Structures are given as structure tokens and as C-alpha cells.
Amino acid sequence: MANLLYPASTGHNVDDKYSPLVEPNLFAGNVLVPGLTFTDKYMIGPAGQIMVHKPGIATVTATHPGADFSDAVVQDTLVTIALNKQYNRSRKIYGVTLASVAYDQAATELELALQEVRAAWTLDGLRAIVQDVDVTIGTNITTAANTDGSDIYSFIVADRQALREKKANPDTIIVSPSTYSKLLKAPEFQRSVVTDDAVVRDAYVGRIAGLNVFEHEDLSSVIANGGKIGPTGSEITWVSSTDELEYVIYDHDALSIVTSVEAVRVSENPHQFIGVSAQVQIVSGFKLTNGSRALIKIHDASAS
């Protein structure tokens, strides 16, 4: 006998006797953790966008002892963090199914709504790094992949050096699963003891070359298929089926995420239907506030 769907053909299964446990869905790890992989220090109150002053700097040249001061005005710039992305998810649950299943369906649906929103939110956070990086000096494009991973440590060390020479202080690297597999084969990579924090424990997998290492399953998804990426004059056309964003290295304090609305609720809709909706809403803004504090490494498969 077929299971009953309510509403018919598009609704939820109603069971006679099912397990009170549910099969978990698969989601990418949570790699965006405040204070660890991004900063939320600019969350300072109600705003549609936040303007951050970036003071200018100038070179000081030595003079002879006793010389007077020479006043200078060094112009600053403004960095805009716009809260321009809203994530909505509402999962509808009919009262008849709530009364007919053995598990806590409302709690399960709410957790799934959170996971779905978090997946989109995380990709946009990572996308901010790729979009705002200084592509003239922050894009490392290789055309050949070393499948045994013997060169991965050398690439990471060289890219960290490039950032340090720009006076950045990189402390974070987020890698693709294939890059993490190469790291596991690298003798220089040592797993470290993770802190007792469930959120961090989901994705934090060790340290290498002074960088906290995180693995994200959907890292390459942050670049749109057919998009152009790389320095002007030598851009590549991204092919999502074959190209790979192998890793991003950056100073976590340069990735700013600001959130103005967070709503997580189970809401009744008595005027529309008998049941509840598991709803999540987040409004956020993402910005790599200094493009010289990050570097991305891409494998261009078309040139291999």
C-alpha cells in the first residue's frame, strides 16, 4: 500500500508506524565562525550600510636633528559594507502531518531551514573574498595539477610569503576537499587538537605554515560558471565542471560580515492553512575590506 501524501502528490508522507528518527540530510561544513574565520566587529547598530574609515599612510623620510615638523594631510578612504542580502526560508507543515508522525517534525523542519539558509549565507561570505581580492597580486592561477600532492605545501608557503610581503597577516586557509586530500599526504601537515566547540569542530582540521586550515566541500561553487577571473589581460573563463578553486588564504580580520536581522521561528498561519511554518530569515552584508589581505589559488583545467 502506498504511503499517504497530504496534500496529495506534493505534501508530506503520513505514516502508520514509523521510526521516531529521521535520516539526516547532507550539508557542507560551517567554515564561517566569528572571531575565527571572519570578523563581526562592525556590527554597531541599526543601519542599511556601514561606512568604515580607512586612514591613509605615507612614507616618512629622516631629516637632520633639530629640524621642524612638516605638516601633512593624508587622505583617508571609505569602505562600504552594504547589508544587501536577505535569506528567507519557510517550510510549510500541515497540522495533519504533525499529528500523524512519530518524530518532532517542526523541530526537524526548522533545523533544515537553518541549514539551507546557512549554506547560501556561507557561499556568499566566501564569494566576497573572491570578488574583492586584489586580482593583480592576489590570484595564483596554475594550469597543471600535481595529483600526488607533493607540491601543495610549497604553493601554500609561497602564497603566504606573497601576502606577508604585502604586509598582510594571513592566518586562515580554506581548502577544497581535493586540496585537503593533498594536505593529508604532505609530511609538513600536522593535525592539531581542535577546541571543544561543536561549530568549529565541524570544519577546523588543523594548521599548516601558521594558518588555520578549514575544508569546505562547495568552495569552487563561489565562482559562477562562465565568469571571468584573474588579472586584467590574462583572465580565465571559469568552467565550473572542470576548474577548481583550490584554496583561499586571508587575514580573517579583513573579512567582515554584518548581520542586522536574524529570525528563527515556528509560526502558525491560521488564516491560510491549519499547521505551522518553520521560518528563518537573515539579512547580512559581506565585504573583504582590504583586497591586499587575501589570495586565491585556482586550477585552470582548460590549459592543462
Cross-strand partners of 172:
212, 250
Q: Work out whether the CA dihedral 252, 289, 287, 298 comes out positive or negative.
A: negative
3-state DSSP assignment of residue 260: strand
Measured CA angle at 172 (ends 149, 115), to 5 deg: 95
Instruction: Give the CA distances from residue 58 to residues 66, 73, 120, 162, 165, in Å, rounded to whole numbers and listed in that order.
Output: 22, 10, 40, 22, 18
Q: Are 249 and 159 in contact (CB under 8 A)?
A: yes
Please report, for the chain, the start and end positions of each structural domain, with discontinuous segments joined by +.
84-303
List of the chain residues with pLDDT < 70: 1-6, 8, 14-28, 45-48, 100, 102-103, 135-139, 142-148, 190-204, 270, 303-304
Q: What is the DSSP letter of 267?
A: E
Q: Are 171 and 214 in contact (CB under 8 A)?
A: no
Cross-strand partners of 259:
284
The pTM of the full predicted model, rounded to 2 decimals, is 0.79
Q: Which residues contact 92 (CB under 8 A, 6 or more apart)?
A: 273, 275, 277
3-state DSSP assignment of residue 107: helix
User: Which stretch of DSSP H or E encloses residue 57?
Assistant: none
Q: What number of other Cβ atoms are within 10 A of residue 247's Cβ? A: 27
Q: What number of other Cβ atoms are within 10 A of residue 20's Cβ? A: 8
* Strands (DSSP E) found in the chain: 4-6, 12-14, 49-54, 77-82, 85-94, 139-142, 172-175, 204-208, 211-215, 228-229, 236-237, 244-250, 255-268, 275-288, 294-299
Torsion angle of alpha carbons 229, 235, 241, 247, nearest 10°? -50
**pLDDT score of 196:** 46
**pLDDT score of 294:** 93
pLDDT digits (tens, 9 = 90+) for 6-19: 676 777 776 655 44
